[in-house]
Amino acid sequence: MSLTLAQASDIAAGTLAAARTNNAKPMAVVVLDAGGHPITLSREDGASFFRHEIAHAKAYGALGMGADTRAVAQRAKNNPVFFSSVTVTVGGNLPLSPGGVLVRDNNGNIIGAVGVSGDTGDMDEQCAQSGIEAADLAHGSQA
Amino acid sequence: MSLTLAQASDIAAGTLAAARTNNAKPMAVVVLDAGGHPITLSREDGASFFRHEIAHAKAYGALGMGADTRAVAQRAKNNPVFFSSVTVTVGGNLPLSPGGVLVRDNNGNIIGAVGVSGDTGDMDEQCAQSGIEAADLAHGSQA
Amino acid sequence: MSLTLAQASDIAAGTLAAARTNNAKPMAVVVLDAGGHPITLSREDGASFFRHEIAHAKAYGALGMGADTRAVAQRAKNNPVFFSSVTVTVGGNLPLSPGGVLVRDNNGNIIGAVGVSGDTGDMDEQCAQSGIEAADLAHGSQA
Amino acid sequence: MSLTLAQASDIAAGTLAAARTNNAKPMAVVVLDAGGHPITLSREDGASFFRHEIAHAKAYGALGMGADTRAVAQRAKNNPVFFSSVTVTVGGNLPLSPGGVLVRDNNGNIIGAVGVSGDTGDMDEQCAQSGIEAADLAHGSQA
């Protein structure tokens, strides 16, 4: 099982709805399938053009490491030299900040990931989680 | 003036609606702003993972050359060696096939581009044009 | 469902067994999951060091296009300018030769791909198909 | 003299056997020849898709520096700015963590390298060393 376009669209819509409710800065949201390939990308008016790249990299990095980027960023604080080198190894696809969130099915299997960039890492992650919940799916921290 | 997220979403929805009406193969559609940066990307279920890359490159190539990729592909038939070299020069961002279509405002100014991949080049282009029309905007061949 | 390491190892072993039975030139075989990420790679003694890169690209290209590279190569004969440009778009991940073969489960779903390089495209493909059969799975042309 | 496919396969099998004995997290193991080109790659079920990239880079980095990555990571702690820059210079092929281990013949000549990623750097390295020993070869720290 993998995320469908309908599910990914629901996640993206839910993410941006949360962003507007929270009065967040303009955001980009990217939803990837389990293999790391994009299903949807949406960039709000006023979101500058690194936003979707960072959003993509957060989602890709969560899948590549098998953990939300919040957890990876926490580990990086204890081992900055290693994680600085690893971000280069993986072509920059591991932004060390919250906002890359795994999407799981009801059995806990990883079926994709969401990446959000635009506001603080905390706000980015909160909106991503809201989007996943809006699509009736489970996010990383619920595993 | 540049495309808004609302306009890009209308284009993408119109493109995929046309694809389903025409019983096209699963498609990816990418909408770029005038600077070549993505506003939306949507990949249908069953569309393999080069589709969005090719769709992106078609839209980017149309902007980069200032012409729909149909016109560029036609020129390439008469000068294949040059265009083969140019595709390398621009990092592959010029797939020599229809389906990359410029988006213009009512004054004829380029405000973005749509790229579609999934079926034949002709079908890809037809769906892209339908999407642009659905958003009440003008496409390349109308300029 | 995706290929397991056990299945991928069976495919690789079966591919190389077929290569030795057929007295093929030294070969590399790469098995990818449905998302295009490697599960196994094996390069025989005497296989030069482009072999695994070409094998990887064949498997990746089959997944990216949703078709065995034999079928893609056939299409490319009728539209060489487009396919030359697309190989650049996808970073070279589309060698226009047989030897990239989709792996399917019993329901016809794509669960991975095998890429082989070392001998002729025909021989490469034959060995890949033998490997998939040795693992009791279905290959592309059986879909 | 360089590692053969038979030897590399023994190393990989020994590495993963040690991983299972030690109840390590899912791992990827890559074995390179002395020129830095892959002979085998194996990624266990459940190992996320950065694992083989990091494993490859650890092995490549050990060969590129002529030392196990444990020793390089130790040096990096005393000179982090320089090593951060070097990781970029070499395209990320130098993850600053244990788990990239040189393989030597009985005369102490470097004939390849093993890279492992999946658990802690210490566990990754221990499994790599076990794999090399299982193939009756000498690892870096024995030189």
Residue in chain A closest to D99 (alpha carbons) equals A82
How close, in Å, is residue A53 to chain B by CA atoms?
Answer: 10
pLDDT band of residue C143 (cuts 50, 70, 90) is very low
Subunit partners of chain D (3 or more CB pairs within 8 A): A, C
Q: Does A141 score more than 70 pLDDT?
A: no
* pLDDT value, residue A64: 97
Residue of C nearest to A1 (CA): C1
Domain ranges across chain B: 5-142
Q: pLDDT at residue B1 above 90? A: no
Judged by CB atoms closer than 8 Å, whether chains meet at D40 and C39 is answered as: no
CA atoms within 13 A on the CB side of D53: 19
Which chain B residues are closer than 8 Å to A112 by Cβ?
A: none
pLDDT given at position D141: 58
- Establish how many alpha carbons lie within 13 A of residue C2's alpha carbon, considering only the half-sphere containing its beta carbon: 22
Contacts A9 to B, Cβ<8 Å: 42
Q: Which residue has the tokens 């995706």?
A: C2
The Cα–Cα gap between C8 and C4 comes to: 6
Strand ordering across the sheet containing A38-43: A138-139, A100-104, A110-117, A28-33, A38-43, B38-43, B28-33, B110-117, B100-104, B138-139
Please tell me the predicted confidence (pLDDT) of residue C53.
97
pLDDT at A1: 65
- C20-42: burial string, b at 16+ Cβ within 10 Å, e else: eeeebbbbbbbbbbbbbbbbbbb
Under 8 Å CB pairs connecting chains A and C tally to: 11
As a whole number of angstroms, the distance between CA B57 and CA B80 comes to 18
Supply the pLDDT for residue B141: 59
Confidence of residue B143 (pLDDT cuts 50, 70, 90): very low
Given a cut of 50, the residues of chain D with pLDDT beneath it are 142-143
Question: How would residue C142 be classed by pLDDT, with cut points 50, 70 and 90?
Answer: very low
- Nearest partner of B84 among A125, C77, C82, D116, judged by Cα: C82
pLDDT tens digit string along D107-143? 899 999 999 999 999 999 999 999 999 999 999 654 4
Closest CB to C44: pick one of D5, D38, D41: D5
pLDDT digits (tens, 9 = 90+) for A80-112: 999 999 999 999 999 999 999 999 998 899 999
Q: Is A107 on the interface with D (CB under 8 A)?
A: no
Q: Would you tell me the crossing angle of helices B51-65 and B69-78 to the nearest 10 degrees?
A: 80
What is the third-level CATH fold of A5-142? Beta-Lactamase (3.30.450)
Mean confidence (pLDDT) of chain B: 95
- pLDDT tens, residue by residue, B22-52: 999 999 999 999 999 999 999 999 999 999 9
Element (H, E) at B31: strand B28-33
Q: What is the pLDDT of residues C97-111, one digit of tens each?
A: 999 999 999 889 999
- AA identity, residue C59: A
Q: How far from B103 is each of A30, B34, B106, B110, CA to CA, in Å? A: 23, 9, 10, 6
pLDDT reported for residue C1? 65
Using a CB–CB cutoff of 8 Å, tell me whether D35 touches chain A. Answer: no
Query: C48: distance to nearest CA of chain B, Å?
Result: 26
pLDDT, tens only, B102-122? 999 988 999 999 999 999 999
- Mean pLDDT, rounded, for C123-134: 98
What are the pLDDT digits (tens) for C68-118?
A: 999 999 999 999 999 999 999 999 999 999 999 999 998 899 999 999 999
A32 band by pLDDT with thresholds 50, 70 and 90 = very high
Distance of CA D37 to the CA centre of its chain: 13
**CA nearest C82 in B: which residue?**
B96
Angle at CA C29, nearest 5°, toward C26 and C31?
175
Q: Give the residue with greater pLDDT, A141 vs B31.
A: B31
Q: CB distance from C88 to chain B under 8 Å?
A: yes
Residue of C nearest to B87 (CA): C85
